[in-house]
Amino acid sequence: SSEPVRVMVTGAAGQIGYALVPMIARGILLGADQPVILHMLDIEPAAEALNGVRMELVDSAFPLLKGVVATTNVEEACKGVQVAIMVGGFPRKEGMERKDVMTKNVSIYKAQASALEKFADKDCKVVVVANPANTNALILKEFAPKFPAKNITCLTRLDHNRALGQIAERTGAAVSDVKNAIIWGNHSSSQYPDVNHAVVNVDGKEVPVRELVKDDAWLDGEFVKTVQQRGAAIIKARKFSSALSAASSVCDHVRNWVKGTPEGTWVSMGVLSDGSYGAPKDVIYSFPVTCKSGEWTIVQGLKIDDASQKLLDITGQELVDEKKLAYECLKE
């Protein structure tokens, strides 16, 4: 059997962490035949809760789980990890300005960048979940210059999956028959969930979503809004933010990255922009990507209509503004 892969989860005692670690230990992240060693990091005030999670992992007797490191020491947590899932961060509390959250989180990501660069495996794959996810990922990249930039990504797969889910509900199709939605840009309310290239498999034939739904007003209006505001709707219903769907989409993101996307299918990932589709360069922007042999590639050549291009530009500009704000926060 293969060597265990070391997987780090930061903020592991939090809500998403609690939903995510059993998925990893069950083989949902890397496959049912891939043993893992979990590295769980959290901050000192959460140390006892973290130990509780560790105890539950022991009690679950997961066959694939070959070891658990539970620590509040960043360097110890990063040691030798091949996958790093960055969930830890200050949640946005009521009354907090965007800039307050930004200041707290970008400084965390600046500090963790150095630890990752020094102690993680040289080819470690990183996915940032904590908000502002794109900008935190960018800060990680900027302060870990020796780290391969292509290995630093942020999560927009939950938004992508939400789009597939809405189309499935609307058309009555199984969600597994819906594919190739796109989340463009920032993981924020400026993101653009685009179904112009999405298709549904109907009796073995790929039918464009627009043809099947026959309601452009819904697709351009309510659908987009529902996807953008789904997080808030879940908080309202559950009184807690989405955790199981966030955790599940982290597994999808990493599994597709490592093991590849199926032929003819793309997924959405926040990756370092090369300027494709007029996106600003040098920000972490969500694009449609295909993955093969552990590498992502931005899907090229999709036709973007004028209305969509405007939305791509707006969310891109927000990322440029966030980047600027992040650097101001780091100076203070």
Question: Tokens representing 32?
Answer: 């049912």
Minimal CA–CA distance to 128: which of 51, 181, 71, 186?
Answer: 186
- The one among 7, 8, 14, 287 contacting ligand NDP by CB under 6 A: 14
Q: Is 289 one of the binding residues for ligand NDP (CB under 6 A)?
A: no
**131 among annotated binding-site residues:** yes
From 39, 160, 187, 197, the catalytic residue: 187
Contacts of residue 93, Cβ cutoff 8 Å, sequence gap at least 6 = none
Q: Count the neighbouring beta carbons within 10 Å of the beta carbon of residue 167.
A: 26
Q: Least distance in Å: CB of 217 to ligand NDP?
A: 27
Interaction mask 100-139, ligand NDP, x per CB under 6 A = --------x--------------------xxx--------
Q: Does 160 participate in catalysis according to the annotation? A: no
CA 260 – CA 254 distance, rounded (Å): 9
C-beta atoms surrounding 269 within 10 Å: 25
Instruction: Kindly state the smallest distance separating residue 237's Cβ from ligand NDP, in Å.
Output: 13
Least spacing, CB of residue 263 vs ligand NDP, in Å? 28
Of 22, 31, 43, 66, the residue at the interface with ligand NDP (CB under 6 A) is 43
Q: How far is CA 327 from CA 149, 279, 322, 323, 330, in A?
A: 19, 20, 9, 6, 5
How many CA atoms within 13 Å lie on the side-chain side of 244?
2
Count of residues that interact with ligand NDP, criterion CB under 6 A = 27
∠ CA 285-314-322 to the nearest 5 degrees?
60
CA 69 to mean position of chain CA atoms: 23
Q: Where does this chain touch ligand NDP (CB under 6 A) — which range of 76-84, 206-214, 239-247, 318-326?
A: 239-247
Q: Which two tokens stand for residue 245?
A: 């769907």
When binding is defined by CB under 6 A, the residue of 8, 158, 178, 200 that contacts ligand NDP is 158
| Single residue of 5, 8, 9, 13 touching ligand NDP by CB under 6 A | 13
Q: How far, CA to CA in Å, does 216 sit from each of 163, 212, 220, 274?
A: 15, 10, 6, 31
Q: What are phi and psi of 112, to 5 degrees?
A: -75, -25
User: Taking the complex as a whole, how short is the minimal distance between the CB of residue 331 and ligand NDP, in angstroms?
Assistant: 20
Task: Kindly state whether residue 26 participates in binding ligand NDP, applying the rule CB under 6 A.
Answer: no
Nearer residue to ligand NDP within complex by CB, 30 or 154:
154
**Enzyme catalytic residues:** 187
Binding-site residue numbers for NAD(+) are: 11-17, 42, 105, 129-131
Annotated binding site: 11-17, 42, 92, 98, 105, 129-131, 162
List residues near ligand NDP by CB under 6 A.
Answer: 10-11, 13-17, 42-43, 46, 87-92, 108, 129-131, 155, 158, 231, 241-243, 246
